[in-house]
Amino acid sequence: MWWLFGRTNGSGFSSSSTAEEVTQGIDGNNLTAIVTGATSGIGVETARVLAMRGVHVIMGVRNLVTAKDVKEGILKEIPSAKLDYMELDLSSMASVRKFASNFISSGLPLNILINNAGIFAAPFTLSEDNIELQFATNHIGHFLLTNLLLDTMKKTAHETKKQGRVVNVSSIVHLLPRGIRFDQINDPSSYHMWFTYGQSKLANVLHANELARRFKEEGVDITANSLHPGAVITNIFRHTNILSGLINTVGRLVFKNVQQGAATTCYVALHPQVKEISGHYFQDCNVSTENSQARNPELAKKLWDFSLNLIK
């Protein structure tokens, strides 16, 4: 219910704004976007609203059957929607590489990359690449995906003269950890579901900030930003039985719905107000403030090198 009292700031939008409202009147025709995790929660709404604005949306999904149902549902509402889906498991580097290869082979341009997929509070598990599952899925998978698609994004920006945008969906939980525990990523004895999730979300912010720095240094017309979508009722809480039950009973009174939860993502991905803004953290469709660790350029560079080493 707190979002009912959201105040508008510089953008004119607030915590109560919806994805449709913040993209009203925007023409997304001739734009192509990839949205990861587009079969549930804010990912579905992000894909739907971008498609509503004319964007050709490629949904990166784990479950092709669910993706087919999502696509059919959106097309039923928006017959003109341009939607495709491709298999993508962010916890698997092999799957990420296959997705990127298939996308590049399609010859499609890429204007917008929305790194949205994520898992929260899963029991301690190692991915097939032997990386703690939350860090693997929420950060490393998106880091690899972004790197593999950068040449396509740069080519698209150059040929179309339209600024590209990389959008990392982080979380306010990035405030919890004091940094990245590089030497304890896979340590089960130090695993804590909240702090480990927060670490992966801090990595999302650092990744976007370092991308922004590199784009500026290279003179590339692509921006990179991160965001907190708000506390949203989605199935991301499925691994936490107690918290999931609490959300189901009282969450609808205090949490955002998915229409509001997808607003900041769609705003950062499409709105003209965000043109030329790069290396920033957004909340409620306005520039916000990340923690001091997230603004640490040396930590961002260290994470970049650490991540590069993991994906080799």
Nearest-angstrom CA–CA distance, 146 and 207: 10
Q: Catalytic one among 191, 197, 267, 281?
A: 191
Tokens of 132: 């703690």
**Is residue 191 annotated as part of the catalytic site, yes or no?**
yes
Do 142 and 204 contact (CB within 8 A), yes or no?
yes
Amino acid at 289: T
Tokens of 246: 């609490």
Catalytic residues: 191
